[in-house]
A and B are shown apart, each in its own frame.
Chain A
Amino acid sequence: DAKTTQPNSMESNEEEPVHLPCNHSTISGTDYIHWYRQLPSQGPEYVIHGLTSNVNNRMASLAIAEDRKSSTLILHRATLRDAAVYYCILRDIYSGNTGKLIFGQGTTLQVKP
């Protein structure tokens, strides 16, 4: 599985937008970009995923660079509840793949009131 690189930590103020970057320069054409987050004392939670086009859902937006070598998770208005570790993960779409997630260290997001 291709590797991702994320900053160890980021800070944000409540009610402001947050842009969480992820570099994946060795991404292959069949890798989906997935984002999960893990709130304190909980299991990871799916946030969003995409392949080539930008994606929006009720939780966040995912902006994918044209060359797909980087992506950005956008939280439009951070709340205190968004304080978590955010993981950027690549998953190959082809069958025969187990679908297992390979987690890195992630980005710890602190949200200040």
Chain B
Amino acid sequence: DTGVSQNPRHKITKRGQNVTFRCDPISEHNRLYWYRQTLGQGPEFLTYFQNEAQLEKSRLLSDRFSAERPKGSFSTLEIQRTEQGDSAMYLCASSLLQESYEQYFGPGTRLTVT
């Protein structure tokens, strides 16, 4: 399968714990995006990488959130000291370089903070 994969698919954690999610993009894609989606809403942009460089971060990405894309391949999104408001679906997408190209989304990681 050459699509975007995300792990884990589901994560339940207690408030205050740290969690890390992984995204494996389509191999030749330069761009990688993270989005967050809460119930009944459209996805919201969090951050974006072009190769290994993180080029934009949304105001939604508080200092408890950090994302990396070492070597321009897979990416990780870490949330420290989780809060109940962090409960959401975290989606990863990848695309080729040009702005007109479509983004391919992974299945998402569903985070529940209890």
Contacts and interface: CB of A to CB of B under 8 A. Distances in A.
Interface of A: 32, 34, 42-46, 49, 85, 87, 91-95, 97-106
A100 B33 contact: yes
Interface of B: 4, 31, 33, 35, 41-45, 48, 55-56, 91, 93, 95, 99-108
Given A98-B55, A101-B45, A92 B99 contact: yes
A10 to B, nearest CB: 16
Contacts of A44: 43, 91, 93, 103, 105
A101 B43 contact: yes
Contacts of A102: 45
Nearest to A85: B42
A91 B98 CA distance: 11
B31 A99 contact: yes
B33 to A, nearest CB: 6
Contacts of A87: 42
A34 B100 CA distance: 9
Given A95-B99, A106-B42, A43 B48 contact: no
A33 to B, nearest CB: 11
A102 to B, nearest CB: 7
Contacts of A45: 105
Q: Kindly name the residue among A44, A94, A106 whose own CB sees the greatest number of chain B CB atoms within 10 A.
A: A44
List the 4 shortest-distance A-B pairs measured between CB atoms, nearest first: A103-B42, A43-B105, A46-B102, A100-B45
A34 B107 contact: no
Given A43-B107, A44-B105, A100 B56 contact: yes
Contacts of A99: 31, 33, 48, 95, 99, 101, 103
A52 to B, nearest CB: 13
Given A42-B108, A43-B107, 20 more contacts: A32-B99, A34-B102, A43-B4, A43-B105, A43-B108, A45-B105, A46-B102, A46-B103, A92-B99, A94-B99, A97-B99, A99-B33, A99-B95, A99-B99, A100-B33, A101-B33, A101-B45, A103-B35, A103-B44, A105-B42
